[in-house]
Amino acid sequence: MKEKQFVFGVDLDGVCADFYKKMREVYSDWKGVPQEALTKEVSYGLPEWGTLPDEYSRVHRFAVTQRELFSSMDPIKGAAQSIRRLGSEGVRIRIITHRLFIRHFHETAVSQTVRWLDHHAIPYWDLCFMRDKDLVDADIYIEDTEANIRCLQDADKEVIAFTNSTNRNMSPPPKLRANDWNEAEEMVRQRYYAFLDSHGMPKPEAPGHVPSQTL
């Protein structure tokens, strides 16, 4: 019988990849305004930057096709290292991202995503491009978009809200919140260890290392 694995569902934009930093750079170019004129405190859809009705999709298309958005973003501090440690301990990393909403550019979005993950040495077993993330199974998720956090919670999924300006003032607040990857990593590890205990499986000898019995 195949041994059950603990699955960590990981969002990319705003959680692992610094989406809003890159979009600020792109939008500055798009509008011809200095980056300093664009606030860092944004909400979903970037209305604080004066985005016109139906303009966001055009800016996003420009970012992906002309500025290689998905392969050029900086990683959020600590994300790659935390995911590598958890993966080395035996956590199954399942990337769940919604990047296929621009028609006819799916190949571009997928190839940029894979290139970015490989370039930053972020391990994963599964790569899922999904809008409805609650349809993808995981033991715990990490997400920054408020609507997705709510949807996962409503589906009785355990989800860590990764703090940024788009979700900082959620009301009611999320059940779980991490302000950085150190906090997120520890939350996942605690639940992973509880999972191992419940299945009579050995714990890693130290964070970032698989148990010697499984080597």
Asked if 109 and 49 sit in the same domain, the reply is no
Asked if 164 and 190 sit in the same domain, the reply is yes
Q: Is 11 left (phi over 0), alpha (psi -120 to 50) or beta?
A: beta
pLDDT at 21: 96
In a domain, 49, yes or no: yes
Annotated active-site residue 11? The verdict is: yes
The average pLDDT across 2-7 equals 82
Find out whether 205 and 198 touch, Cβ atoms under 8 Å.
Answer: no
The CB-based long-range contact list for 37-40 (8 Å cut-off, 24+ gap) reads 40/165
Domain that holds residue 80: 7-17+74-214
Contacts of residue 173, defined as CB under 8 A and 6 or more positions apart, other chains included, come to none
The average pLDDT across 176-200 equals 97
Annotated active-site residue 180? The verdict is: no
pLDDT at 100: 67
Asked if 25 and 108 sit in the same domain, the reply is no
In a domain, 2, yes or no: no
CATH of the domain at 184: 3.40.50.1000
pLDDT at 209: 59
Asked if 67 and 167 sit in the same domain, the reply is no
Q: Which residue has the higher pLDDT, 6 or 204?
A: 6
**Structure token digits, residue 6:** 């603990």
- Kind and range of the H or E run holding 95: strand 92-97
Chain centroid to CA 116: how far?
A: 13
3-state helix/strand/coil string of 139-199:
CEEEECCHHHHHHHHHCCCCEEEECCCCCCCCCCCCCEEECCHHHHHHHHHHHHHHHHHHC
The catalytic position among 13, 18, 139, 144 is 13
Under the banding of pLDDT at 50, 70 and 90, the label for residue 99 is confident
pLDDT at 207: 67
d(CA 57, CA 123): 30
